[in-house]
Structure 1
Amino acid sequence: MEPTTTIPTPAASRKRQDLLRFAAIIGALFLLNFVAQRFFFRLDLTEEKRYTMSPATKQLLSNLKQPVTVTVYLAGDFPPTFRRLEQGVRETLTEMQVYGRSNLNFIFIDPSAAGTEAGRNQFYQTLFKKGLKPTNLGANENGKRVEKIIFPWAVVQAGGQSRNVLLLRGSQVAAPEERLNQSIEGLEYELASTIRQVAPPGGARRRLGVVSGHGELPNAELADILTAWSQNYDVFRVDLNQVKDLRGNLDAVVVAKPTLPYSEEEKFRLDQFITHGGRALFFVDALRVDLDSVSRNGAALATPYNLNLDDLLFRYGVRLNPNLLLDLNCGQIPLVTGVTGNKPKIEPLPWQLYPLINRFSPSPITRNLDAVYLKFVGNIDTVKAEGIRKTSLMTTSRYTRRLPAPVPINFNDARLEPNPKLYQNSYQSVGYLLEGKFRSLFANRVQPGTMKYQPDQNPNAQPSKILVISDGDFLRNDVDPKSGRPMRLGYDRLSSTEFANRELILNATDYLLDETGLIAVRGKQITLRPLDKVQLAGNRRPWQLLNIGAPLALLALFGAVRAWWRKRRYARF
């Protein structure tokens, strides 16, 4: 009897093919999962690479030695405009967690989530005590003005330390949408720099020396910036007469509003420190303004200082001009404008000698910075210095007036209406960043106090960076006259406004001293692409119908095509 051969039916053959295809897909998924576990990569397809962490941030997060927790209080039922900031914070922390792994965790808390008003107010008070102040941010939604009380803060904790992070940055004069965009651009730097403070990487801390001995600002008037510096650096007071050689002892020096001249020996030590790679921050006035004499006599005369630093700065590429700048974009001073009953009536009046600066370069030091406050400032010119790159960091407004020394000063001038036609010296630079290999002022000269000849070419010259701001009061904080406690740098008691002086100085210090390059993250730019609000308002209904109807139509079309294909495939069985 001959064996019979079973011929598989077409249905059985197709079923076997489907099983093989299913098994191949499952195997490919297992293989892909295995490869993904062994080889990590992420793709950022956005034009600005907005989801890509900088190498400095990746290194910082990958080297975390202890758990870090970020508590974000920016959560709740926000309008779409505000939700962008919340979503930006969430996306940034999610990306950071990829590199920080188990050592980085974050949570979001809605401050308004309490069921009762009493519970909500109690939680608000808890946040106030932590130094977290709410912000009333406005935006236009659907043609209506919307205002929302939010807490744009995060608290970073690690190893018993905690730091508050303000998430809403940017210029206050910008439109709300633009300010939110500036805040999103700076999220990576704000969070990464704070994580570095509470969980510092290994290695020696940089050493910062504040020069004394020439009538510089006392510790009480530098208290706020000294405290801020000490979070990342070791800070010392340095007397140039006591320290013969700054090299090897310090990484940067700060010259904070000197009023007495430097000797040639002291200037030589500064020069050798800078030309051998040391960093320096100069906050120097070109003119002396004695406010005590103004308050006593009602008038004073601003005259040039003799600090013996002009030739040093000139060699490095800048010149502080002996003048004062008046700017129509300015701060205020309190003046007696009359008498009410038997009491004087005091009102704040504009004072053009206190410029408010909100024109900045795109440098990482000043990008997306809020306005800064200056007092009795002169302009800075650049001069030829080979191999030195000069960056103007900030300038006055379009309506600026320049008065050469000697300049008469009288507070009663604030009562007068300024004539805009006199303010024709637009956009005067008041701050410069200098970078490169600096040539010694004492080249081809005998060193002061010795008979040793200083050669022209220094074989040990190293690249350096210098910040020069022509306002010695730029880093001076006020002191509360009642309690004697220092106030926050940049805080103006008259307007109850905090300006960004402190932030600029910290950014500049990081730029000068941080070799990891984390400060470069501040240069990150995200392009704002707003919708055409006029077109949107005029064609609102058709777009709504399209957004609702198009997905349903596509789903119905897909179902119809799939049903037709299945019917055609299985009709012959």
Structure 2
Amino acid sequence: MNKTIRSLLFPLILVVVNIISILFFFRKDLTEEKRYSISDASKSIVSGLEEPIEIEVLLDGDELPGGFERLKQAVEETLGEFKTYGGANVSYTFFDPNSLTNPEEKKALIDSLYFKGVQPTNVFDTDGGRKTETMVFPFALVSYQGKEQTVLLLQGNQALSAEEKLNQSYENLEYSFASAFRKLTIKERKRIGLLTEFTSLEPINFAGLINALQEYYDLYFVDAATSESFLGLDALILPKPDIRIDDSTKYKIDQYVMNGGKTLFFIDGLKVDSIGLQGTYAQPFESNLQDLFFKYGIRLNYDMIKDGASAAMVPLVVGNMGDKPNIQPIPYRFFPLINNFGQSLITKNLDLVESKFTSSIDTVLSSGISKTALLKTTPYTKILNAPALVTYNDARSNTDQQEYNGGEKTIAYLLEGKFSSLYENRILPSDPRSGAFKAKSEPTKMIVCSDGDLIVNELDRRTGEPMPLGYDKVSQHTFGNKDFLMNAIDYLVDENGVINARGKEVKLRPLDAIKTRDNRTQIQLVNLVIPSILIIIFGLVRGFFWRRKYAH
């Protein structure tokens, strides 16, 4: 009887476990960095789909280089997690455009992909001692309700090694797909206000900013003079003002913050006019917001940063080649390239950010406000106090380490907490504004950046059309300015949203190159010979007991 019960017990346990697994959905990610988990916001997006969403991954093929093969596997794992929570409403396929054998069909497909923003990457590798070139398409196309969104799979900081950049691409996958899903499925859009009346630049100079925001948000050009307040907006942006902000607008900004409004300030410390052959002197820009910032916990300095170790290029005449000038790109220290980021979801895995004529920001004591440095220079800086001479001839001289010893300087801060009003104890009961006045804010956030040019796009001199935000004509590279802007907005207005997916971390665990070189034989023995011996021993022992059991 006991033997019969024992024989039935194991199948019975299996049946019970299967019934429980059907009734109660449960998953446990045992990896240290939660590689096989997605954020609650991502789960909410795919579980709330009204119709099927289709993903076509173009990163496929039998001859993918090793790093891209791992990226493909990571894409499949990520989409598998989305499908777990989205069910039948999430479907994905892999397709290699190189698999087409008909040249005309292949060309037509690649042309159509170019139109959608898909640009292949040529990867050079070695195979059997021979150099090979493979055209790889690190993109995916996401379709929903007749709309389509292109997702770039290969993302990361261009200054890092190929291995580190691929690792950042793994970390960004969930955020990239979730952002595309959100854009295609969003119903209620946040309201963003743009306070442009205090800048002399035209809207075309902010085309990159405007187009990027309008993809996800409802954008409003705010007229401060005719607006009683800025309440009703989810965020307010002040882009590169070069006209003094009046007291009335300053009060409206303060009370917007006190009512929990989110704000972004892209404002210069010094004002730079056109630079001639002899240069020009940058003068302090009196924005009328210095006391406001000081009350909130920061000080925007009247200075200019020169970065001697990381700077964008400018074309300069360095001599003659025959009877023609020899023009070469030379680092220009007044244009710091930011590759030093604080610990924040906003800047995680961000590409280099290009800045121009930027000032430093210091923090001051402010109770209840946490301050996170977002963008920082290298330690090799030199500070020029106003009035600061700005000249292109500066690029002709080399960086002197003894001169560029100012240390890291912060050019963008994230401030979070409960702010105190600049007008606290200054509004009398008889003041008409006293009824709605608030002296202490609700918990809120703001970002202050001491470079207005960070969100300004250049114009094509031939056509007059706007360049992409962050595009540098000299290097022909698009820096991470747009990503910084969009991450900042997401963090401010969608704090429980897909921005949290940027917190995923996949750690690199490289082998010790020296130890693997010196102990190559031992490592091969441990990984190849010993497992084989253990399998043989297990087989012999199992065979011995099997013969012994059935010998009689």
Conservation of the 8 A alpha-carbon contact between 1:66 and 1:199:
no
Conservation of the 8 A alpha-carbon contact between 1:444 and 1:453:
no
Distance 1:228 1:240, change over 3 A: same
Distance 1:48 1:245, change over 3 A: same
Give 1:479 deviation, angstroms: 1.6
- 2 CA distance for matches of 1:193 and 1:143? 41
- 2 CA distance for matches of 1:395 and 1:147? 38
Write the mapping of 1:22-37 to structure 2, written as runs, cut at 5 A: 24-37=9-22
Conservation of the 8 A alpha-carbon contact between 2:418 and 2:440:
no
- Match of residue 99 from structure 2: 113
Give 1:544 deviation, angstroms: 4.7
- Match of residue 205 from structure 2: 221
- 2 CA distance for matches of 1:156 and 1:529? 32
Gaps of 5+ in 1: 1-12
CA RMSD across the alignment: 2.9
Give 1:136 deviation, angstroms: 4.5
- Match of residue 524 from structure 1: 504
User: In structure 1, what residue type is equivalent to 2:474?
Assistant: L
- Match of residue 322 from structure 1: 302
User: In structure 1, what residue type is equivalent to 2:172?
Assistant: G
Conservation of the 8 A alpha-carbon contact between 1:139 and 1:176:
no
Match for residue 101 of structure 1 among 83, 87, 95: 87
Give 1:484 deviation, angstroms: 2.2
- Match of residue 48 from structure 1: 33
- Match of residue 181 from structure 2: 195
Deviates more, 1:184-193 or 1:462-471: 184-193
Write the mapping of 1:356-395 to structure 2, written as runs, cut at 5 A: 356-395=337-376
- Match of residue 64 from structure 1: 49
Distance 1:43 1:567, change over 3 A: same
- 1 CA distance for matches of 2:212 and 2:305? 30
Write the mapping of 1:246-265 to structure 2, written as runs, cut at 5 A: 246-247=230-231, 249-265=232-248
User: In structure 2, what residue type is equivalent to 1:43?
Assistant: K
Give 1:240 deviation, angstroms: 0.7
- 1 CA distance for matches of 2:6 and 2:333? 79
The answer to whether residue 155 in structure 2 is matched with residue 174 in structure 1 is: no
- Match of residue 500 from structure 1: 480
- 1 CA distance for matches of 2:146 and 2:106? 27
Secondary structure at 1:172 match in 2: coil
Q: TM-score, normalised by structure 2?
A: 0.92
Secondary structure at 2:222 match in 1: strand
Match for residue 418 of structure 1 among 378, 381, 399: 399
- Match of residue 218 from structure 2: 234
Give 1:393 deviation, angstroms: 0.6
The answer to whether residue 26 in structure 2 is matched with residue 38 in structure 1 is: no
Write the mapping of 1:547-562 to structure 2, written as runs, cut at 5 A: 547-562=527-542
Deviations 1:224-262 (A, max 9, x none): 121111121100100111111111x21111000111111
Conservation of the 8 A alpha-carbon contact between 1:317 and 1:385:
yes
Secondary structure at 2:419 match in 1: coil
The answer to whether residue 249 in structure 2 is matched with residue 269 in structure 1 is: no
Conservation of the 8 A alpha-carbon contact between 1:207 and 1:252:
yes
The answer to whether residue 179 in structure 2 is matched with residue 160 in structure 1 is: no
The answer to whether residue 108 in structure 2 is matched with residue 128 in structure 1 is: no
Conservation of the 8 A alpha-carbon contact between 1:285 and 1:470:
yes
Gaps of 5+ in 2: none
Deviates more, 1:330-339 or 1:89-98: 330-339
Distance 1:85 1:495, change over 3 A: same
Distance 1:570 1:434, change over 3 A: same
Deviates more, 1:149-158 or 1:560-569: 560-569
Conservation of the 8 A alpha-carbon contact between 1:444 and 1:455:
no
Write the mapping of 1:465-476 to structure 2, written as runs, cut at 5 A: 465-476=445-456
Match for residue 348 of structure 1 among 329, 335, 348: 329
Deviations 1:314-363 (A, max 9, x none): 11111110111111211111223344455443222221100101000120
Conservation of the 8 A alpha-carbon contact between 2:459 and 2:465:
yes
The answer to whether residue 550 in structure 2 is matched with residue 570 in structure 1 is: yes
User: In structure 2, what residue type is equivalent to 1:261?
Assistant: R
Conservation of the 8 A alpha-carbon contact between 2:421 and 2:439:
no
Conservation of the 8 A alpha-carbon contact between 2:303 and 2:386:
yes
- 2 CA distance for matches of 1:139 and 1:39? 48
- 2 CA distance for matches of 1:146 and 1:377? 44
- 2 CA distance for matches of 1:343 and 1:333? 19
Give 1:141 deviation, angstroms: 10
Distance 1:141 1:277, change over 3 A: farther
Distance 1:116 1:366, change over 3 A: same
Deviations 1:131-169 (A, max 9, x none): 112335678999999975422212222112222222222
Question: What percent identity do the matched residue pairs reach?
Answer: 40
- 2 CA distance for matches of 1:515 and 1:452? 35
- Match of residue 193 from structure 2: 209
Match for residue 462 of structure 1 among 439, 442, 460: 442
- Match of residue 137 from structure 2: 151
The answer to whether residue 394 in structure 2 is matched with residue 408 in structure 1 is: no
User: In structure 2, what residue type is equivalent to 1:193?
Assistant: S
Give 1:33 deviation, angstroms: 2.3
Q: TM-score, normalised by structure 1?
A: 0.89
Give 1:301 deviation, angstroms: 1.2
User: In structure 2, what residue type is equivalent to 1:384?
Assistant: L
- 2 CA distance for matches of 1:138 and 1:56? 38
Distance 1:217 1:389, change over 3 A: farther
- 1 CA distance for matches of 2:481 and 2:433? 42
Give 1:34 deviation, angstroms: 2.2
- 1 CA distance for matches of 2:131 and 2:161? 13
- 2 CA distance for matches of 1:460 and 1:338? 61
Conservation of the 8 A alpha-carbon contact between 1:396 and 1:427:
yes
Give 1:214 deviation, angstroms: 1.4
Distance 1:339 1:94, change over 3 A: same
Distance 1:387 1:455, change over 3 A: farther
Conservation of the 8 A alpha-carbon contact between 1:58 and 1:99:
yes
